[in-house]
Structure 1
Amino acid sequence: MIAVIGGSGLYDIDGLQNAEWVTVETPWGAPSDQILTGDLDGVKMAFLPRHGRGHVHSPTKVPYRANIDALKRLGVTDVFSISACGSFRENMAPGDFVIVDQFIDRTFARDKSFFGTGCVAHVSVAHPTCERLSDAAESAARDAGIKVHRGGTYLCMEGPQFSSMAESKMYRSWGCDVIGMTNMPEAKLAREAELCYASIAMVTDFDSWHPEHGAVEITDIIATLTGNSAKGRALVQRLPALLGQTRAACPHGCDTALEHAIMTAPEKRSAALVAKLDAVAGRVLG
């Protein structure tokens, strides 16, 4: 089952058969919204508007744990994250898409793990995105006529304000390619939930480092978002045909990320926390 987490400007999936908005309850609270489910080209799909319909959740307040847990409960195996971003590179211009493969997490006010006191786990996010899904995203983008860049480092800031010029120049000097507010801790949580995850960043602006973009204007961003949204929907429509109706084990091990990650001895584990982890970690906690 393929899930799309839609960011700013992307609030549904075109052409979905048997479409239905479903409510999913999780032990981590309510997700951002109901989840749209259905079939596209014979493949089960789920769509979750990250900010909720009507854009009601700020980046900090998006219920990331509930979102990932809810998708896992529905039977999702593969997650495509689509989000708006600013660019630090001249060649990654507004309207371009970037298939992100690395992150720098600068957020500080979010719950970043399903695990904690009573059940400690450490998963690797050295390679936080799935190559298989990234391949599909790149192919879908090119087939849709979208200018796409394969590979890039996404700086996730807390927000909701945009960067100061000094911050923007600093992040650019670090080697970051794009900047956004929502892919962390989302990518980390997807890895903890043993979900394959790909990040598709839609460039809306050059951030404030650019000499001709000294300040990020929200009106310009919204105008670019409109065009990007149509491109994003075209990309999503091509994913089922690329991934097919059957799915083998992930060749990169995304779906076994918890295999040796649980550190807490069985007799010391919190029964309450283990119960909350039934969907996310039930495979290894039994």
Structure 2
Amino acid sequence: MFFIFSGTSLAASNQLIYDFAELLTNEEVEQLESLASSYGQETEVDIVILTANHTDGKSIEQFMGDFYDEKGLGFDKPHGNTVILTIDMNEREVYVAGFYKGEEYINNYRADLIREEITPYLSEGDFYGAFKNYMDLTKHYLGIEPEAPSQPNVSPPNNQAGPPNNYNPNEENIFLNPIFQFLSSIFMGALVVGIMAYRSSPKKTTNSRTYLDEGRSAVTARRDSFIRKTVSKVRKPKNNNNRSGGGFGGGGFTGGGRSHSGSKGRF
């Protein structure tokens, strides 16, 4: 089965659910379309679902990227704000990616959280439950700043004399700072352990002159005696391709050069 992606932007068609693998009923598709449209209006990000039975030999990242490039997905413009969940049923892979505002707010870490949350649903075959949770979590994270904004420095009024009322001189003494004390204790502990390890390390007892008779300049010993040999065995871990939920990969660029975040795993 080959997929032909139209160049028409998603905003024009208003389609957000692309269930090529037919994992959903018509009623479920309608419900998710309505929910995605509502969440998109609130967040100004298109929340898209893409499923396929196979990716025509492409990696799931490349398949998703080509789809984004060729469809021109985006709430605000073609190739704009988008978060897209891609499912490959052949490889049983799942990939969460974000573009523009979607990349900023659904960064690699948050994409990991979303993917890990929906993976049990996918493993059990509850695709509607997985997709509904994906949309709810995406909307949730799109409403939270990726990082807390730094507090601006506030200058005291010009007529303020001396320290503020809540001034505590101990706060300026670095030796009374709990963080400094904690780091100092770690450093001292590491130093003591290092010294002990150095003193307990075996000393080299032979050198180039050990077997040399200084008076006769002849070798006085022919060989060292081999005493014992120790072999340790470690079991090689098995390669289990059916393991669910393992995360790997991250963000990158589409074939068209558009940056995105990402989290990939199996289910």
TM-score above 0.5, yes or no: no
TM-score for both structures, normalised by structure 2: 0.30
The structure where helix makes up a greater share of residues is 2
TM-score for both structures, normalised by structure 1: 0.28
